[in-house]
Amino acid sequence: MGDFSGKSVMVLGGSRGIGAAIVRHFASAGAKVQFSYSGSPDAAAAVAAETGATAVQADSANRDELIAAVAAAGPLDIMVINAGVLVHGDPLTLDPDAVDRLIDINVRAVYFAGVEAGRRMHDDGRIIIIGSVNGDRVQIPGSTAYALSKSAVQGIGRGLARDFGARGITVNVVQPGPVDTDMNPAGGPMAPLMHSMMAIKRHAHAEEVAALVMFLASPAAAMITGTTQTIDGGIGI
């Protein structure tokens, strides 16, 4: 896992699922961790009590609130942008307000959080964005809005990698496939269809995604930037 003692880490969306696993990994490796949450105060309190991390309430859909939370975190060594929502369904009937909120959280928040983190980040820092394999391919009908947002994340990652590269700051996107979380449980109704498309026929564990994030945050990954790192069990190959 590596030693992150003395490193300042912020995880946007750290109260559940992949985000909580990332908080646990960095805290166990000695980092000083802050994480944001919005609608899960009890879960956030439990993760904070377990790890010693600091929970910060911030709605990623609110640009000013989000920027203020990142700024208040102080100079960071590592920023992980994990907050995201899923909107799925026929684009002809999806609620436009739900699609706007998805874009606010999955796209605009990623941009503004990445920029604000870079503004205050130490040289040789790390920005890691949790995207999705849906940024590359769409296996299931009804995924248009979500795929739009995750393709946009790829452009943000490449652009910020170019903009911040002179300071040694790396920016990468981690693209999970199915992961066993509240959003997409391994026992859910879509699981058999997803597994039928995969070379490794199971959901990933959140800890496996967190381990990849830890590698990208480590000194060993200092020359990896502007990439999409896919962890999807070979879905759609």
Distance CA 215, CA 174 (A): 11
Name the catalytic one among 146, 160, 212, 227: 146
Distance CA 197, CA 85 (A): 23
Query: Is the distance from CB of 148 to CB of 161 less than 8 angstroms?
Result: no
Distance CA 21, CA 57 (A): 18
| Alpha-helical regions (H) of 11-51 | 17-28, 41-51
Query: Is the distance from CB of 208 to CB of 231 less than 8 angstroms?
Result: yes
Amino acid identity at 145: A
Amino acid identity at 71: A
Structure tokens, 163: 């903009």
Residues in the chain: 237
Query: Is the distance from CB of 203 to CB of 193 less than 8 angstroms?
Result: no
Residues 6+ apart with CB under 8 A from 160: 114, 115, 118, 127, 171
Q: What is the torsional sign of CA 84, 88, 90, 94?
A: negative
Q: Decide if 111 is catalytic.
A: no
Residues forming the active site: 146
